[in-house]
Amino acid sequence: MKPKERMAIERQQPDELDVAYRITNFEEVTAGFDEETAVREANRCLQCKKPTCRTGCPINNRIPEFISLLRDGKIEEAYWVIRDKSSLPAVCSRVCPHEFQCEGSCVRGKKGDPVAIGMLERYIVDWMVANGKDLSRQCALPQNKKVAIVGSGPAGMTVAYYLAHEGYPCTIFESLPVDGGMLTVGIPAYRLPRDIIKAEFDALKSCGVTVKNNVTIGKDITLEQLHEEYDAVFTAVGAHDSRKLGIEGEDLDGVLHGVDYLRRVNLGKKLNLGKNVVVVGGGNVAIDVARTALRTGSDKVFILYRRTKAEMPASKAEIDHLEEEGVKIEILAAPIKIHGENGKLTKIECLRMKLGECDTSGRCRPVVIEGSNFMIDADAIIPAISQNVNHLADKGIDFETTNWGTYVVDHETMQTSVDWIFAAGDAVLGPQTAAKAVYQGKVAAESIKRYLEGTDMKEGREVRDLL
């Protein structure tokens, strides 16, 4: 096919569940491509000599190669090309913000729509599952050194994946009763079906990884105690503590924080927030909260965001889904006080904002319009503005941390200031994407292997800057 013909093919759109139906349940909203659509989309790729898509991908996935194999019908080969760089392709293909990563850097996006790289990756992984292919790699013979992993989210799963395949027995300690950390309790099933996460854990467990649930490090067992039994410890505790708004009335009954709310719903708690729900924030957590509130019975859901829609950090596809489902985005609005009666919230008072000066990245500062106060009636208010790292795991150990509360690590090795402890993911980066956690987990796994073998920690390593 000539480049001109490739350029003439329009980006393929996946099928989606009907809006009226999907807001009644947690079924996956976006369907995968079928074979014909996947090949047509793959044919849009120009197989660039300098593939900028790879540069935009935090794990440097071999994108043109797997797309080319898909075109030729070599799906199994394409899968193993993806696996070379990614420990969690089924997850990343669904939840990564591709528009800000690989697709945001695809050359075809300069004059139209980028190649739907995430959907092509998902097609390959789903094809493997649908055709009963074995997703696990050969496991090496057991080594005599053991590794403890704190947290079963994407970074913890990645370290377990690489070390287990090198033969190191790994035990994951998870404080929740379910596997997957933020993937399971932070992301609703309509974006990431639970059988996808389960399949990843089944593959890990078949390679000798053990998961101990309901164990909180720092409470049930300390890092020092872990070190008595394990030769190295990797901590990826995530960033699960909701950041507060810091306004009057935040302790009233009816105010729930974003990740706490999602955790409770995703762990099966029946929570009806009432008719009117106000969510504060513009990122993916705020969007997930708003869409989950609709699915658990609320009628009117608002999002309050202090800038405009163009500045919202959430992915565009998620914002489109949100609006299709009837959530109203109140832009240029910031909460200043939560009002209540008898200890229960009744309203949220807000101020109108306008955009002021922009910084070098083009992001403009929201500025208050004095005297523009307005009220919104609410049965529940859910701040979802960001998360902090929970440092429970550090008890008794003098870790170096940043002003933001994240772990200080050597980014070339992911080693902390304590030589037998390595850290990665949100605990190092703050709330970030699954792909970045996967990349850092891969770096940490390599470092832990070198540490256990007593070889040089840095020689011949390539480092990507993810911040």
Structural contact between residues 136 and 206, judged by C-beta atoms closer than 8 angstroms:
yes
Q: At what angle do helices 117-130 and 35-42 cross, to 10 degrees?
A: 140
Reading the block at residue 95, the tokens are: 């939840």
Stretch that binds ligand SF4, among 50-58, 175-183, 213-221, 259-267 (CB under 6 A): 50-58
As a whole number of Å, the CA-based R_g of the chain is 23
What sign has the CA pseudo-torsion 370, 372, 377, 383?
Answer: negative
Residue with tokens 């079906």: 193
Stretch that binds ligand SF4, among 51-59, 79-87, 352-360, 440-448 (CB under 6 A): 51-59
Rounded Cα gap, residues 298 and 274, in angstroms: 6
Reading the block at residue 297, the tokens are: 């019975």
Choice from 52, 101, 242, 266 touching ligand SF4 (CB under 6 A): 52
Rounded Cα gap, residues 166 and 184, in angstroms: 27
Residue with tokens 């009335």: 249
- Closer CB to ligand SF4, residue 47 or residue 372? 47
CA distances from 210 to 71, 169, 217, 267 (A): 38, 8, 16, 21
- Closer CB to ligand SF4, residue 108 or residue 442? 108
Burial class from Cβ neighbours inside 10 Å (0-12, 13-18, 19+) for residue 167 reads: middle
Does the protein bind ligand SF4 through residue 48 (CB under 6 A)? Answer: yes
Structural contact between residues 17 and 324, judged by C-beta atoms closer than 8 angstroms:
no
Minimum Å gap between C-beta 14 and ligand SF4 is 17
Minimum Å gap between C-beta 306 and ligand SF4 is 34
Site for ligand SF4 in 108-167 (CB under 6 A): 108, 115, 117
Minimum Å gap between C-beta 253 and ligand SF4 is 50
Does the protein bind ligand SF4 through residue 397 (CB under 6 A)? Answer: no
What sign has the CA pseudo-torsion 158, 163, 164, 169?
Answer: negative
Minimum Å gap between C-beta 41 and ligand SF4 is 10
Stretch that binds ligand SF4, among 47-55, 180-188, 291-299, 323-331 (CB under 6 A): 47-55
Minimum Å gap between C-beta 436 and ligand SF4 is 20
Stretch that binds ligand SF4, among 42-50, 216-224, 378-386, 447-455 (CB under 6 A): 42-50
Minimum Å gap between C-beta 47 and ligand SF4 is 6
Choice from 22, 32, 41, 51 touching ligand SF4 (CB under 6 A): 51
Minimum Å gap between C-beta 150 and ligand SF4 is 36
Choice from 23, 29, 38, 53 touching ligand SF4 (CB under 6 A): 53
Stretch that binds ligand SF4, among 39-47, 247-255, 341-349, 439-447 (CB under 6 A): 39-47
Minimum Å gap between C-beta 56 and ligand SF4 is 8
Does the protein bind ligand SF4 through residue 47 (CB under 6 A)? Answer: yes
Minimum Å gap between C-beta 50 and ligand SF4 is 8
Choice from 23, 29, 42, 45 touching ligand SF4 (CB under 6 A): 45
Our CA angle for 17, 22, 27, nearest 5°, is 85
Our CA angle for 457, 461, 462, nearest 5°, is 145
Minimum Å gap between C-beta 103 and ligand SF4 is 8
- Closer CB to ligand SF4, residue 75 or residue 209? 75
Stretch that binds ligand SF4, among 40-48, 234-242, 246-254, 288-296 (CB under 6 A): 40-48
Site for ligand SF4 in 54-113 (CB under 6 A): 63-64, 106-108
- Closer CB to ligand SF4, residue 115 or residue 445? 115
Q: Beta strands 344-358 and 333-341: pairing type?
A: antiparallel
- Grouping H, G, I as helix, E, B as strand and the rest as coil, residue 217 is strand
- Closer CB to ligand SF4, residue 33 or residue 451? 33
- Closer CB to ligand SF4, residue 7 or residue 408? 7
- Closer CB to ligand SF4, residue 116 or residue 203? 116
What single string gives the DSSP state of each residue in 28-96?
-SBPPP-HHHHHHHHTT----SS-HHHHHSTT---HHHHHHHHHTT-HHHHHHHHHHH-S-HHHHHHHS
Reading the block at residue 264, the tokens are: 């409770």
Neighbours of 2 (CB within 10 A): 7
Rounded Cα gap, residues 203 and 2, in angstroms: 41
How long a stretch of residues is the chain?
A: 467
In sequence order, what are the beta bridge partners of 232? 147
Q: Under rule CB under 6 A, how many of the chain's residues touch ligand SF4?
A: 14
Minimum Å gap between C-beta 321 and ligand SF4 is 24
Minimum Å gap between C-beta 82 and ligand SF4 is 14
E strand intervals along 66-187: 147-150, 170-173
Binding site for ligand SF4 (CB under 6 A): 45-48, 51-53, 63-64, 106-108, 115, 117
